[in-house]
Amino acid sequence: MEIIISDTYEEMSKAAARAVARLLNSKPNAVLGLPTGSTPVGVYKELARMHKNEGLDFSRVTTFNMDEYVGLPKDHSQSYHYFMQENLFKHINIPPQNIYIPSGTTDNADAFCAWYEQRIEECGGIDMQLAGVGSDGHIAFNEPTSSLGSRTRIKTLARSTIEDNARFFEKVEDVPIYGITMGVGTILDARKILFLANGANKADAVAKAIEGPVTSMITASALQLHPDVTAYLDREAASKLEMREYYEWIQAKKLGNN
């Protein structure tokens, strides 16, 4: 795993956005896997800026979101559909028919999940998957003990995730209890993964995911099994990494950086 530690959230977001832009410039019809949450907001802002000021083109891009709350309609202000529209899609030129987000209101979840997996395959697979991490080490909504081979399905959210995400709702009781989410196996099928984390409350999860054992107790640790992951961290999120100095040394000595 390549680890890039930035001084600030803004710098971290710009570095990750540049990686997305490099892909789109070399493959204009790329398939992106996208996360929600507060972490990727800066990346989306920068991509929107690059679209507006530098002509970064999304007209042939396809996107698959990682997850959605079960029970929230698309226009609910806390649905991931709404989040994506507000934070990215309405600011870029992606055709609406190229956008895929798990449905939180399907009445046949099994069929929907199988179709979602099939659509990813039919579109040629995900070229670049962006992912954040929950404070319990989850990736997408793959809570602790999710199979590392899991595919898209419904998961019951951990109490800690419900509490973490309660800040976006009026009260904790309003947070949905289930999520419909890509599996860890779905995520690992992406050709490249950008792992994003910022803030001190992610430092433990980041250290366990990057340096701990691969375990379904920290589903983000499965990223260690993937051959092409770059982690974009701010200083606070990187603060508990034991090998931090080594990662910084590698960055400083990287060919092309001198």
The distance of closest approach from Cβ of residue 150 to ligand GLP in the complex, given in angstroms and rounded to an integer, is 14
Read off the DSSP letter of residue 158.
P
Binding mask 95-134 for ligand GLP (x = CB under 6 A): -------------------------------------xxx
Q: What are phi and psi of 109, to 5 degrees?
A: -65, -40
79 binds ligand GLP, rule: CB under 6 A: no
- Which of 19, 26, 10 shows the shortest CA–CA distance to 195? 19
Q: Which among 51, 138, 189, 234 is annotated as catalytic?
A: 138
Binding mask 163-192 for ligand GLP (x = CB under 6 A): --x---------------------------
Count helices and strands (H / E) in the chain.
8, 10
- Which of 207, 101, 41, 173 shows the shortest CA–CA distance to 165? 173
Read off the DSSP letter of residue 112.
H
64 binds ligand GLP, rule: CB under 6 A: no
In this structure, is the dihedral angle defined by the CA atoms of residues 181, 185, 190 and 193, taken in order, positive or negative?
positive
Is there a contact between 104 and 180 (Cβ–Cβ < 8 Å)? Answer: yes
Q: Which among 136, 164, 189, 234 is annotated as catalytic?
A: 136
Q: Which of 140, 193, 223, 237 binds ligand GLP (CB under 6 A)?
A: 140
Q: Which is nearer to ligand GLP, 14 or 35 (CB)?
A: 35
Is there a contact between 240 and 169 (Cβ–Cβ < 8 Å)? Answer: no
The distance of closest approach from Cβ of residue 126 to ligand GLP in the complex, given in angstroms and rounded to an integer, is 15
Contact residues: ligand GLP, CB under 6 A: 35-39, 66-67, 132-134, 140-141, 161, 165
Query: Which residues are marked as active site?
Result: 67, 136, 138, 143
